Amino acid sequence: MRKLFLMLVFVAIALGAKAQENAFSIKGGAGFAMLQDDTDADLKLSWKFGLGYEFRLNDLIGIEPSLMISNKGFKFKDDDYYHYDKTFNLLYAEVPVTCNFHLGDHWELAGGLYGAYLLNDNTEGIFGNLREFEIGTTAAAKYNFDCGLLLGLDGSVSATSFQKDYRGRNSAFNILVGFRF
């Protein structure tokens, strides 16, 4: 028991010494969301915001889990069958986990996976059996200023369809702005 306690204290001290390179960030952005399928769905404005914390493994690589609120969806206009023109909004709580590659002091490329939970939608039952959970891939490119400001682009593509009986998948592309502490 004493050895386990001493080992945990050593790990805590080592992580605390490394923590000076770790970074907490607040970030948000706006862009476009779309439905990836074979229909004539159009782009819609999307947004996201949240928090992240990067654990630096070394000078080149870091792992960053985040908690984001993300608005996805699509616009759909149908004059033939449903006779409507509507924007469908799907609000998700997302947990992306990315591997960040630091290229010099300022540039950063990231790629990873995300899991999302559907919080709210305005589909009014039109699409029926919506999936509550979504998983997918995400990628980003960011520029980190010396003052802590970050600017970047990110994109995500779902690996699962948003509806149980349909193969359409969510995707979104955003311009990011944030601050890293």
The pLDDT of residue 14 is 52
133-144 and 149-158 beta bridge pairing: antiparallel
Domain containing residue 73: CATH number: 2.40.160.20
Contact partners, residue 94, CB within 8 Å, separation at least 6: 48, 50, 66, 67, 68, 69, 70, 114, 115, 116, 156
Domain assignment of residue 107, yes or no: yes
What distances in angstroms separate CA 72 from CA 30, 35, 118, one per listed residue?
A: 11, 9, 10
Domain of 44, in residue numbers: 22-180
Domain assignment of residue 66, yes or no: yes
The pLDDT of residue 4 is 47
**CA–CA distance, 65 with 157 (Å, rounded to integer):** 17
Contact partners, residue 113, CB within 8 Å, separation at least 6: 96, 97, 135, 136, 137, 138
The pLDDT of residue 17 is 45
The pLDDT of residue 3 is 55
Report mean pLDDT in 10-residue bins for the chain, 181 residues.
50 48 94 83 93 95 97 82 79 98 95 96 78 96 96 96 83 96 91
Domain assignment of residue 14, yes or no: no
Domain assignment of residue 48, yes or no: yes
**CA–CA distance, 51 with 101 (Å, rounded to integer):** 19
The pLDDT of residue 2 is 58
Domains: count for the chain: 1
Domain assignment of residue 3, yes or no: no
The pLDDT of residue 1 is 52
Domain assignment of residue 54, yes or no: yes
